[in-house]
Amino acid sequence: MRKLYFFYGTLGHQPLLAAVLGRSPDLHPARATGYEVRHACDPAGAELGYPLLVPGPVGAEGFLAEVSAAEEEVLDWYEIGYRKDVLAVVDAAGNAVKALAYLPEDRRWTPGRLWALADWAAEKGDLATLAVAEVMALRGQVSSEAAIARYPMIRVRAASRLRAAQPRPATLRRTTVAGDVQVESLTTPYAKFFAVEDYRLRHRRFSGGMSAVLDRAAFISGDATVVLPYDPVRDTVLLVEQFRPGPFARGDANPWSLETVAGRVDAGETPEEAARREAEEEAGVTLGRLIAAPAHYPSPGAKSEYLYCYIGLCDLPETGAGLGGLEAEGEDIRSHRIPFAQMMELIDSGEIENGPLIVIALWLARLREELRKSALGT
């Protein structure tokens, strides 16, 4: 038996609703009088990215759709923190009908400004739809509370997938077409700050046929930005040093690593914005012009991480080593302002063994003479 539901806010965006239900239901415009849709906010007034249906004079625009009993169970799992109630709504023909809707639990969130579906869809719809698809893939593996707790990092990974979907050069490598990779199953046995995705898949072979079913796992993380602050007048760079669990887990005799400024590209943030933010947070440095160095996958055989690399022109007075990082994120970072030549010596000696830093250092070596001439006016 199917039931009639009134969907508003993000669930009124058909691609996102399809990601939740696993199909695209027929949506029929409707309006709930005596209610309005507003942004959910935390107690400090910060918007949380999702809507609330609350009493109000504006009226709430939405859609009517029929839902099966199995789909109702899916919706109940997804709409954690909301309760169901029966509303009187008016359909497009002016008929008054009764429909179920999900309303926020009392006092859980604070209503903010009015919600506009078209504005939200244009700005965040694609990102939210990808993120919700990952959330729904967790159903049956974790509780809805655990899935929603992972949502901030899921949004970061979704933003990475949106950037990854942009066309890329293919002059030497093969050009992909639909059906080149066929996923038979996907599970996520681990997902916290990072995630692990376990695939059974086939892919197109160079001979033209499809491969046998392969078991492949990938370590999933969001895109990151790395930037090497460089003062072309003084010919100095800024390096950061911090403890790293990767070398420690390998058994490295010295798990403190010399690196570039680096950090995750947050959802809704560009790689360039992340570079500037991280330079301020980690080293207290304000960057000027950013020069793109080669972006790359550091370990494509096992990791989804993609690095956006930059040289950041800036002023680096000789103030010695400094301490930085966000204490709330457990960061303990020491910065070093050293001559370019010393950095290259540290690469030669093996003291610098951080891949992104080496890539950007070599790119800077390629551009250094031109940058110095421009800065010095010679």
Q: Which residues are catalytic?
A: 329
φ, ψ dihedrals at 32, nearest 5°: -100, 105
Nearest to 201 by CA among 219, 216, 218: 216
Please tell me the distance from the alpha carbon of residue 357 to that of residue 344, in angstroms, as a whole number. 11
Burial class (CB in 10 A: 0-12, 13-18, 19+), 173: exposed
Token couple for 88: 């009187």
**287 burial type by CB count under 10 A (0-12 exposed, 13-18 middle, 19+ buried):** buried
Q: Side by side, which strands form the sheet with 214-220?
A: 181-191, 195-203, 214-220
Spatial neighbors of 252 by CB under 8 A, at least 6 apart, are: none
3-state SS, 79-98, equals: CCCEEEEEEEEEECCCCEEE
